[in-house]
Structure 1
């Protein structure tokens, strides 16, 4: 039992410890995304974010690499954004998951 506990603690410390920060960062890749504003049918402002994922390791159901372009729609309930380019980072193995590095500018 104590052997399993040591392995579990070692695995957790590797996942959460500062020594893994580089490994966690390796999960992500940066790219430039295009922001294209729209107004939805209900009159709500939003935007489409479009980006390529050249470093993606994801594979679709047909066995093809998912490299993009990836398009996602974001409906905002506040001010409309302007058309622009921004920096994002995406998960290499799940490129539809992304984080903003720079936020879209509002009009």
Structure 2
């Protein structure tokens, strides 16, 4: 899952998405793309020919789908700061989330 927001704490400029090479994700693809800038991220993945599943700007719904879709398998989440906070908040409703300070 990739979750990209552009809230103030993340930085509003999303041009950095074009500075990153995502081709290392080609083999396995990305199950879910989410966050305020989900469609920008999906477009960026298309340019690097990385296949992806669903695109949903609602992080809560996308996370639920991601968990259901890959039950029992290790999961990787790449995210911006505020997306990480939202994901941790949602995960804390279903499991213990370690406090990080």
When normalised by structure 1's length, the TM-score is 0.22
The structure in which a higher percent of residues are strand is 1
The structure in which a higher percent of residues are helix is 2
When normalised by structure 2's length, the TM-score is 0.22
Structure label with greater radius of gyration:
1
Which structure has more relative contact order (CA 8 Å, sep 6+)? It is: 2
